[in-house]
Amino acid sequence: MLNITEKKLENATMELQIDVPLDKVESEYKNAFNKLQNIVKIDGFRKGKAPLHMVEARFRKEADQEVAENLLRTVFLEAVEQKQLTPIAYPRYEFEKISREEPFTFKAVFEVPPTVEIGKYKGLSADEQACEINDDDVKSEIDAIRERFATVTRKEEGGEVQNGDLVKMQVRRIDDVAESERDSVEAKEYQIVVGRSKDESALDKYITGMKENEKKEIDVKYPKDYYIPDLAGQKACYDVLIKEVSSMALPALDDELAKKMGHDTVIEFTAKTREYLEKYVAEKTKGDAKAQILKQIVEDSTFDLPESMIIREMENLFKRTRENIGYYSDNMEEFAKIMGIEPDAFRNKLRDEASQTIKTTLSLSEIVKKEDLKVDENRYREVVENIAKRNNKTVEEIEKIIEENNSRENIESELLLDGAMEFIYENAKIKKLKPLTFEEFTRTRGRR
């Protein structure tokens, strides 16, 4: 039996100090020298025929290295098995020396799986926003769909901007810079449908009557409760240049348009649009409430996370960010500079997000275990059917792919985490807030 001293370090890291008895050290040295005797050549002797004592005298350093490597590897495995530990990365070894004349002592530092001490997760309080969908909201959504099929005709020179027009414009904010520097402010280009927004502070309220290539300075006073905090209660001045004005002829709202959207009639199209908006609102408001609850659970829990796990998740986040941006630099510092972000700030942001993602997943996984949650077979079937529909395949084809890729466990894991989210919501104290209009709701979420 090995003599092992166990020490728990930070970041899900363990340190084992292991004392290897002299007889085990001697046994390894004998094996090492016997092996060397068979492969080394000493002048005056044929290969493999040199006396053992000469091999021991001449190749002591080589034997020391091999014995150390063998003992570190084999004894470490014995030690973690004896202590019932599960390393998740290669260990780092530390030792002062190795000698045939004395026991061998070394330290092994390694990461173990993360741990979580879950906090309170039942009976938590959360606010849930309410939102009412009315006929105007449905009409507005349908009009936005009709715009996708609109006939766009650029107006002749001198044509004025009117509600319903599609306008390209360049905008610069100029009140927050010195007058002498205004020309150097980079203009941002926008394309909007004039009159779509119900926001009284929207710039399209100020550009009707303007013409192509016309410039205008526009002063805007934002309300104190404006949904963009940096502009709330502020006055701003914008330099606006109209680049292009086009009229839009929307298609008739009839059964033909409905069929293009996958419905038989306008009545069905309208009903499904309302259903979509109501589902969107319900999912977002419930999702926000779940996020509040989960945030409380994470903050009330204690985690011990291995550094390698955080680094891997940072790499995953970095990869997804690159894919979303479409810039495929593997150099994090270079990527940050291209994005105009300080590399350290970007790295810290990734680290915070990675840590939060891991803590969230661990919390939900712990709830799954504590509550012995199981996968709902009907829900699993529904997921498979949705995958088949999205990929234009049969359920049987998708099930075969899942079996070939051994991916059922991944799907079930996601369903269990979803089940844990539903569990904490159902066991929370939800306070319904005063309903917002759909315009207010979507504006604060940046949907439009």
Question: What does the pLDDT read at residue 448?
Answer: 43
Do 281 and 170 share a structural domain?
A: no
Give me the mean pLDDT over the 179-208 stretch.
87
Would the pLDDT of 330 be above 60? yes
Do 240 and 191 share a structural domain?
A: yes
In this structure, is residue 329 part of a structural domain? yes
In this structure, is residue 126 part of a structural domain? no
Give me the mean pLDDT over the 155-177 stretch.
91
Q: How many residues does the chain have?
A: 448
Do 278 and 240 share a structural domain?
A: no
What is the pTM for the complete model shown? 0.78
Contact present, 385 and 397 (Cβ < 8 Å)? no
In this structure, is residue 118 part of a structural domain? no
Question: What does the pLDDT read at residue 208?
Answer: 93
Integer angstrom CA distances of residue 296 from 123, 139, 293, 352, 429 = 11, 39, 5, 17, 13
Do 308 and 213 share a structural domain?
A: no
Query: Structurally, how many domains does the chain consist of?
Result: 3
Question: What does the pLDDT read at residue 183?
Answer: 80
Would the pLDDT of 447 be above 60? no
Least confident of 135-149, 220-234, 368-382, 400-414: 220-234
Do 294 and 177 share a structural domain?
A: no
Do 303 and 218 share a structural domain?
A: no
In this structure, is residue 135 part of a structural domain? no
What strand order describes the sheet that includes 3-9?
Answer: 3-9, 13-20, 104-111, 92-94
Question: What does the pLDDT read at residue 198?
Answer: 80
Least confident of 89-98, 112-121, 180-189, 276-285: 180-189
Q: Distance between CA 302 and CA 346 in Å, rounded? A: 26
- At residue 302, φ and ψ (nearest 5 deg) are -115, 130
Q: How many helices (H) and strands (E) does the chain have?
A: 13, 15
Summarised one tens digit per residue, pLDDT across range 362-372 is 999 999 999 99
Tokens 């280009």 belong to 189
| 3-state secondary structure string across 181-232 | HHHHCCCEEEEEECCCCCCCCCHHHCCCCCECCCEEEEEEECCCCCCCCCCC
Do 394 and 428 share a structural domain?
A: yes
| Listed residues 204, 233, 249: the one ending a domain | 249
pLDDT above 90 coverage of the chain, percent: 75
Would the pLDDT of 378 be above 70? yes
Contact present, 399 and 95 (Cβ < 8 Å)? no
Structure tokens at 229: 């905090």
* 372: DSSP letter: T
| Listed residues 97, 113, 129: the one ending a domain | 113
Q: Distance between CA 20 and CA 164 in Å, rounded? A: 83
Do 436 and 300 share a structural domain?
A: yes
Q: Distance between CA 217 and CA 215 in Å, rounded? A: 7
Q: Which residue has the higher pLDDT, 378 or 326?
A: 378
In this structure, is residue 176 part of a structural domain? yes
The mean of the pLDDT values for the chain is: 91
| Listed residues 62, 84, 113: the one ending a domain | 113
Do 395 and 275 share a structural domain?
A: yes
CATH code: domain of residue 438: 1.10.3120.10
Question: What does the pLDDT read at residue 446?
Answer: 56
Tokens 């020298």 belong to 33
Question: What does the pLDDT read at residue 315?
Answer: 93
Do 266 and 219 share a structural domain?
A: no
Q: Distance between CA 322 and CA 169 in Å, rounded? A: 29
In this structure, is residue 191 part of a structural domain? yes
In this structure, is residue 304 part of a structural domain? yes
pLDDT above 70 coverage of the chain, percent: 99
Contact present, 234 and 222 (Cβ < 8 Å)? yes
**DSSP code per residue over 283-335:** HHHHHHHHHHHHHHHHHTSEEE--HHHHHHHHHHHHHHHHHHHT---S-HHHH
CB atoms within 10 A of CB 236: 16
Question: What does the pLDDT read at residue 368?
Answer: 97
Contact present, 203 and 178 (Cβ < 8 Å)? no
SS3 content of the chain, % helix, strand, coil (to 5): 50, 20, 30
Identify each DSSP E strand in 377-417 by its residue range.
Answer: none
Would the pLDDT of 400 be above 70? yes
Do 391 and 314 share a structural domain?
A: yes
Summarised one tens digit per residue, pLDDT across range 291-305 is 999 999 999 999 999
Q: Which domain holds residue 381?
A: 256-445
Least confident of 16-30, 54-68, 134-148, 340-354: 54-68
Give which of 99, 35, 24, 23 is closest to 61, Cα–Cα.
Answer: 99
Contact present, 290 and 421 (Cβ < 8 Å)? yes
